[in-house]
Amino acid sequence: MVSRNFDRITMDPAKMNGQPCIRDLRMTVRRVVESVAIYPDRAELFNEFPELDEEDLRQAIAFAAANMDQS
């Protein structure tokens, strides 16, 4: 569930099969969380994904954590 606390998380049934994404980009929350794990060096992560910033990462991780128990 998207709330005002997650203003960078968007869901559009016409994009990425309605999966939660970052700012209407074709970058899912899941991919962002996976990227944080793959690229522990933030500089490397931002070099690979220049469209992202720290707030995008923070909200993606918080959104994923808030939705862990939901089916």
Q: What is the pLDDT of residues 17-26, one digit of tens each?
A: 999 999 999 9
CB 17 within 8 A of CB 44: no
CB 35 within 8 A of CB 45: yes
What is the model's pTM?
0.87
Mean pLDDT, the chain, as a whole number?
92
> Dihedral angle at the C-alpha atoms of 37, 14, 71, 32, nearest 10 degrees?
10
Residue 61 CB burial class (10 angstroms; 0-12, 13-18, ≥19): middle
Phi, psi of 64 (to 5 degrees): -60, -45
What's residue 4's pLDDT?
Answer: 61
Average pLDDT of the residues in 40-63: 96
Does residue 71 belong to any structural domain of this protein? no
**Structural domains of the chain, count:** 1
- CATH number for the domain spanning 48: value is 1.10.10.10
Q: How confident is the model at residue 34 (pLDDT cuts 50, 70, 90)?
A: very high
What's residue 63's pLDDT?
Answer: 95
